[in-house]
Structure 1
Amino acid sequence: MTQHKAGFGRRAALAAGTMLLAGGASRAWAQAPTLRIGVLTDLSGPYKDITGETGAICARQAVADFNAAERGLQVEVLLADHQQRPDVGMAITRQWFDRSDVDVVMDVGSSAIALAVSNLVAERNKVHLNTGAASSDLTGKACNANTIHWPYDTWSNANSTARSLLRSGGDRWFFLTADYAFGRTMQADATRIIEKEGGQVVGTAIHPFPGNTDFSSYLIQARARRANVLAFANAGTDMLNCVKQAAEFGLMRGGIRPAALVAFIQDIKSLGLETAQGLTISESFYWDLNDRTRAFTERLKPRLTNGNMPNMDHASAYSATLHYLKVVAEMGVARAKADGREVVAAMKRMPTEDDCFGAGTIRADGRKIHPMYLFEAKKPAESSGPWDLLKLVGTTPAEQAFRPLAEGGCALVPG
């Protein structure tokens, strides 16, 4: 393990930090061409378990499963902390391109950082495999020919949650929405689907972001409006506090179904099933979904020294890395390193196939296509172990799971 120092401050230098070599053996740069994948993520903040080190672990698992060394590919996986700050994330990315010969930037769980990195990647003709950010703009008005968006986005989660709950009778929605672009976008996307499918939004409460801790007045409004779905268009600590307080108010016992529009298995683990039971979340991957996801998780477990388990962001780091390596193996390393746009075009032409998502495709706008699943947090008595937390309650097929190609406004899509 070696350290790369950056010249933009001590914290950023440490963030740019640890270079992790897939396969565990140190190789001299003189043996280039070497493929370098930079996992830019949250290693110290609120999303360190949701994205973080586990994403890099999954990328390295993909390198191992592909038998990259046996195929003549030298692959290094670098890991850095963007600290949820766009300036730090951009400084690390520039250093990777200027000093470390990085070919791919992956993860980038913050939408603001992801959009900035996507622009820089296009400028430098590198590859951005976004496996963490939520913004559907990455394949919409901000799309480019160097970026692919993998696990989910604001549209897919709103679509999966709304359609599945509407089918099971959830036709009166109350939104508790964070007052910033992410929250408002999630609510708007879900509202269009709810109204199109015959449901109605009976109320909305916009809460300050960040710093709000008391959601009681909003929850009382949801009960007064006779909502049967309470939708949380927020994330992280806000969402967790909402669920805890909704449970304390007895809203679930009163027949209101709680729905987190963006949540992860780590959130359910943090809440505990006593509190989280009945909460619905949309994911494109669950470790216990089928035989292939279980087999992937078993292979991964020996590497998971941080006590975490993979979610859809982590699984996407595996899936995206594996697909990238398949394309490079066909193109040749030198050609792939020379032209990121050509790599992305080839990734779009080649069907995807892996244990995390099964068969899939990548559209012209860079959107990776696969099914979305609605899960419900189990009751404590239904769980057989620490990570046995979810049960499947609905599936949105791949062809319906993401925003229609013609509606995104991506300039790459023929008129």
Structure 2
Amino acid sequence: MYRIARAALAAGLLSALFINPSPAQQTPLKIGVLSDFSSVYSDIGGMGNVEATRMAIEDFGGQMFGKPIDMVSADVLNKPDVASTIARKWWETEGVDMIIDLPTSATALAVMELSKQYEKIMIVTDAASSDITGKSCSPYTAHWTYDTYANAHTVGSAIVKNGGDTWFFLTADYVFGHSVERDTGDVVKAAGGKVLGSVKHPLNTADFSSFLLQAQASKAKIIGLANGGGDTINAIKQAGEFGIVAGGQNLAAIVMFISDVHSLGLKLAQGLIITEAYYWDLNDKTRAFGKRFLERVKRMPTMNQAATYSATLHYLKAVQAAGTRDTKTVMAKMRELPVRDAFTDNGSLREDGRMVHSMYLFQVKKPEESRGPWDYYKLLAEVPADQAFRPLKDGGCPLLK
């Protein structure tokens, strides 16, 4: 009798396990997009990143564990305190499982601290500081698109090799700009060049005149633009008004996007040497994704927007393969699975959180070379992951000690 009762109890418990899924699987998986919708980085990420996330959810099938996948989004106003407040609310009370995007390095680093506190996954697809996977690395953060080290090494080294051996930096005065100046300056000096100086400017400034005059007075062959988005566009436009390039100095846009070239036009942007992680016209996969994105957003995707699609899709694949949304299990699966999609054919996620992949060196076409809208780049070189990104041993990531 006792054996029968015990067997019945065991059967009942087993049945309950199948009838009642774990609490983690009873609620929909939820992804939060923290972006810049109103300021200097809205074109390179912004609503395009929201749409890219939506496309990845749709391509995955729209469901996880039998429930529709949810998405929320918010504008961080490029302020770390705002980003932290939203992230805390999402993780603490709104059931968000993963946060993606983060438009600036300062907002990314702030939310990374909360990610560690709540043991939740975040994927950085916009912010660029190499510190994200260096001294500030986290077991719960992946850095997807590019970083200041990779861009500095692909663009900086190419320019120095071609005679641009004296530099002066025009630097956005926050973590990202400082990282660009530091990493590019290291490349210039390692290649035998000299850094003659730098000047810091506020984020999203409208007037670059005083900063450009200092750069012009330095007589440096190369004025390195250690900024991004609208700041890069405005600096290049105003440099043209000051006749800086006509006077013999050249501009180096360390971090530049196809949306920037589109805003500038080929007449102003022609000849610029830039690096990107993605370009819509590289291959059949990139062209197919670019065409779909263009139909929905009415502009070609930036590398950040293509990377946001890639990172979201990879995360969803990892959750599915793991059979759980448990953070540590999913992160392990994200590192185990290769990254193969419209963004890259050769990606992998390292222990320090860096997703490594090929980077590309481009030159902006002359107006007469372009076949039409968004046909802006000539491919100069594909830089393999092990040459583009900082070696794992050199980053100073505490997780590896």
Calculate the TM-score normalised by the size of structure 1: 0.84
Unaligned runs of 5+ in 1: 1-28
Match of 1:244 in 2: 237
Letter aligned with residue 182 of structure 1? F
User: How far is the alpha carbon of 1:285 from its aligned partner?
Assistant: 0.9
For residues 253 and 124 of structure 1, the distance between their equivalents in structure 2, rounded to whole angstroms, comes to 53
Match of 1:371 in 2: 358
Does the alignment pair 1:170 with 2:161? Answer: no
For residues 121 and 290 of structure 2, the distance between their equivalents in structure 1, rounded to whole angstroms, comes to 27
Q: Deviations over 1:282-340 (max 9, x none)?
A: 21111122222111112333322xx33211111111111111111111111xx21xx21
User: How far is the alpha carbon of 1:165 from its aligned partner?
Assistant: 1.8
Calculate the TM-score normalised by the size of structure 2: 0.87
Pair 1:229–1:126, CA change in 2 (3 A): same
Q: Is the 8 A contact 2:174 2:203 kept in 1?
A: no
Does the alignment pair 1:122 with 2:116? Answer: yes
For residues 30 and 296 of structure 2, the distance between their equivalents in structure 1, rounded to whole angstroms, comes to 20
Match of 2:11 in 1: none
User: How far is the alpha carbon of 1:270 from its aligned partner?
Assistant: 1.5
User: How far is the alpha carbon of 1:214 from its aligned partner?
Assistant: 5.1
User: How far is the alpha carbon of 1:31 from its aligned partner?
Assistant: 8.8
Does the alignment pair 1:285 with 2:275? Answer: no
Match of 1:412 in 2: 399
For residues 73 and 286 of structure 1, the distance between their equivalents in structure 2, rounded to whole angstroms, comes to 34
Does the alignment pair 1:149 with 2:143? Answer: yes
User: How far is the alpha carbon of 1:388 from its aligned partner?
Assistant: 1.9
Aligned 1:130-149 pairs, distance under 5 A = 130-149=124-143
User: How far is the alpha carbon of 1:72 from its aligned partner?
Assistant: 4.5
Match of 1:270 in 2: 263
For residues 342 and 90 of structure 2, the distance between their equivalents in structure 1, rounded to whole angstroms, comes to 30
For residues 179 and 297 of structure 1, the distance between their equivalents in structure 2, rounded to whole angstroms, comes to 33
Q: Is the 8 A contact 1:258 1:278 kept in 2?
A: no
Aligned 1:9-408 pairs, distance under 5 A = 32-69=26-63, 72=66, 74-201=68-195, 203-210=196-203, 215-216=208-209, 219=212, 227-304=220-297, 307-332=298-323, 335-336=324-325, 339-408=326-395
Unaligned runs of 5+ in 2: 1-22
For residues 212 and 85 of structure 1, the distance between their equivalents in structure 2, rounded to whole angstroms, comes to 16
Match of 2:6 in 1: none
User: How far is the alpha carbon of 1:218 from its aligned partner?
Assistant: 5.4
RMSD: 2.5
For residues 63 and 192 of structure 2, the distance between their equivalents in structure 1, rounded to whole angstroms, comes to 54
Secondary structure, aligned partner of 2:199: strand
For residues 25 and 53 of structure 2, the distance between their equivalents in structure 1, rounded to whole angstroms, comes to 22
Pair 1:342–1:176, CA change in 2 (3 A): same
User: How far is the alpha carbon of 1:81 from its aligned partner?
Assistant: 1.4
Q: Is the 8 A contact 2:133 2:353 kept in 1?
A: yes
For residues 154 and 30 of structure 1, the distance between their equivalents in structure 2, rounded to whole angstroms, comes to 37
For residues 32 and 70 of structure 1, the distance between their equivalents in structure 2, rounded to whole angstroms, comes to 10
After TM superposition, the structure 1 stretch with the greater mean CA deviation from structure 2, 211-220 or 105-114, is: 211-220
Q: How many residues align?
A: 379
**Identity in percent:** 46
Letter aligned with residue 51 of structure 1? G
Letter aligned with residue 92 of structure 2? D
Pair 1:121–1:225, CA change in 2 (3 A): closer
